[in-house]
């Protein structure tokens, strides 16, 4: 079994819980997720299985689309509704919807964002939430993120629901907190659903129960090929070229590629050998060997 599974992660499970469940129901050890989704969030969690686990880094770097609800007037230590309330706006008044839309629009584009302390990001070998639980302060560097779209879906004061398309590494909990501050109050994330990751959409996802039933009946239609998900150009090589590439040698080709382009390396039997990269002009080499 080899490929990518579009799993519908339920709330209450960690991404590692999902991986363990997939290992158990498939009997395959080589399983990994490509992009952690918070335990209290639901939605699309791409799972790589078999040799496709070596491709998880390319899924990690992809954009994500979320549906989110934020509650105004409250700030928690985790920036979501599961944390302890640290601030409450006792004088909160209804904010006009046009103001809310304008503030959301102001977050479009690139900006710096600091990851929340209650997150799994590792600093000096420890996860940030481990420091936070001990009350330890630690400096966390802000990272460049890109909010490519953000749209108000519903507004029922003090709750607002929005849809957003973001770059890798964007924390929606932090975005909710920042939106609250921009509105002159506080805000925390009420719920979060990831609706898309690297083209994998929630309407095409499978629950763990559905996967278990399909696997029991030897139905592997839930598997998506890495070629389809990643969308790199496919280039076919002859046996002599494949041998050179898998041995770490560079070869010259002419396929209209540009420097640092990535592409799939296939043989004349359409077997996927790995991912190649352009090093200089028409010079290419193997970047990731899969066989």
Supply the residues annotated as catalytic: 38
Label residue 254 exposed, middle or buried (CB < 10 Å: 0-12, 13-18, 19+).
exposed
Nearest-angstrom CA–CA distance, 7 and 202? 8
In order of 179, 191, 262, 264, the CA distances from 107 in angstroms are 8, 20, 31, 36
Instruction: Give the sign of the dihedral formed by CA 47, CA 62, CA 123, CA 173.
Output: negative
Nearest-angstrom CA–CA distance, 85 and 73? 11
In order of 35, 141, 183, 191, the CA distances from 82 in angstroms are 21, 25, 22, 10
In order of 32, 214, 215, the CA distances from 25 in angstroms are 14, 10, 7
Nearest-angstrom CA–CA distance, 278 and 189? 42
Helices (H), 106-165: 128-133
Nearest-angstrom CA–CA distance, 187 and 166? 19
């Amino acid at each position: 079994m080899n490929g990518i599974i579009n799993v519908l992660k339920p709330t209450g499970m960690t991404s590692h819980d999902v991986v363990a469940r997939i290992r158990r129901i498939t009997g395959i050890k080589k399983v990994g997720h490509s992009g952690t989704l918070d335990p209290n969030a639901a939605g699309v969690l791409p799972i790589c299985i078999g040799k496709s686990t070596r491709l998880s880094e390319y899924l990690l770097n992809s954009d994500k689309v979320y549906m989110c609800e934020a509650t105004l007037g409250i700030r928690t230590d985790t920036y979501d509704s599961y944390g302890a309330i640290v601030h409450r706006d006792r004088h909160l008044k209804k904010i006009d919807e046009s103001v809310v839309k304008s503030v959301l629009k102001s977050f479009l584009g690139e900006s710096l964002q600091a990851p929340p302390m209650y997150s799994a990001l590792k600093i000096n070998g420890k996860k940030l939430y481990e420091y936070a639980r001990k009350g330890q302060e630690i400096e966390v560097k802000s990272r460049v993120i890109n909010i490519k779209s953000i749209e108000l879906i519903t507004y029922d004061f003090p709750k607002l629901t929005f849809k957003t398309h973001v770059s890798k590494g964007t924390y929606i909990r932090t975005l909710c907190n920042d939106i609250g501050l921009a509105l002159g109050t506080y805000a925390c994330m009420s719920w979060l659903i990831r609706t898309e990751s690297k083209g994998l959409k929630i309407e095409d996802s499978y629950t763990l129960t559905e996967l278990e039933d399909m696997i029991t009946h030897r139905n592997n239609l839930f598997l998506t090929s890495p070629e389809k998900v990643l969308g790199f150009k496919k280039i076919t090589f002859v046996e002599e070229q494949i041998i050179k590439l898998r041995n770490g040698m560079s070869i010259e080709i002419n396929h209209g590629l540009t420097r640092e382009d990535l592409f799939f390396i296939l043989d004349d039997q359409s077997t996927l050998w790995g991912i190649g990269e352009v090093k200089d002009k028409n010079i290419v080499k193997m970047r990731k060997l899969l066989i």
